[in-house]
A = this chain, B = another copy of it.
Amino acid sequence: MGTVTPARGPKEPQQERSRATRRALLEAAVSCLAERGWSGSTVSVVAERAGVSRGAAQHHFRTREDLFTAAVEHVAEKRQGALKAVAHDLPPAGSAARTRIVVEEIVNLYTGPLFRAALHLWVAASDEAPLRDRVTALEARVGREAHRTAVALLGADESVPGVRETVQGLLDMSRGLGLATLLTDDKPRRDRVVTQWARILDTVLNGEG
């Protein structure tokens, strides 16, 4: 191959490989956390799952805390990016149909493997001082970003008193629905709650018609 492809500096492919390794580690870390919890998630387990040597993993992430907080942040950014991409195909702002789709998409953010992984990280962090500050800061960043995205997608006007708290309550409800799916997949119940709360939000945010 090297004989036909145009000559390149040796650095570029190496950087690409390095980025690919990093990404593989981050995604393996999140699935590991979701499936095995914090106590079952070590750097070695993740390295093996990503098909990377332990040394290479430690080159990218100095500590276990570095690896797992970076992993949850990386996947959260990806998921929020996907949520923002939804904006292009939405019904007009201010319509009930739009509110329904947005509420559903936000709830979906909190009911997948990412939320499961984040939940394990939060619970572990609540007992472990070195992890606690980092996860608290991470959670604040991710939460602010989720709030901004929700406001934008709903077309909500936060200068109206109460609108900010209305959207926050929606995000809290989504987190609670995520928690409920931890033990049982209660999708039919969840769908009914989503339908009803989307109706309520539509009335609060867009008025009675």
- Residues on A lying within 8 angstroms of B by beta carbon are 35-37, 39-40, 116, 119-120, 122-127, 132, 135-136, 139-140, 143, 162, 165-166, 168-169, 171-180, 182-184, 189, 192-193, 195-197, 199-200, 204
Q: Is the interface of A mostly helix, strand, loop or mixed?
A: helix
Number of copies: 2
Q: Please, which residues of chain B bring their CB within 8 A of the CB of A162?
A: 196, 199
Interface pair A180/B172, CB less than 8 Å apart: yes
A172 lies within 8 A of B173 (CB) = yes
Q: How far is the CB of A69 from chain B (nearest CB, A)?
A: 13
A179 surroundings in chain B (CB, below 8 A): 119, 122, 175-176, 179
Q: Using A175-B176, A176-B175 as known contacts, say yes or no to A165 and B196 having CB atoms under 8 A apart.
A: yes
Distance, CA A175 to CA B172, complexed state (A): 8
The interface residues of chain B lying within 8 Å CB-to-CB of A176 are: 171-179
Some 30 contacts from A to B, beta carbons below 8 A apart, are A35-B127, A36-B127, A37-B123, A37-B127, A39-B39, A120-B123, A122-B179, A122-B183, A123-B123, A126-B182, A132-B183, A139-B183, A140-B184, A143-B180, A165-B195, A165-B197, A166-B196, A166-B197, A166-B200, A168-B193, A169-B173, A169-B197, A171-B176, A172-B193, A175-B176, A175-B180, A176-B176, A176-B179, A179-B179, A200-B200
Contacts of A182 in B (CB 8 A): 122-123, 126
Which residues of the other chain, B, contact A173 by a CB distance below 8 angstroms?
169, 172-173, 176
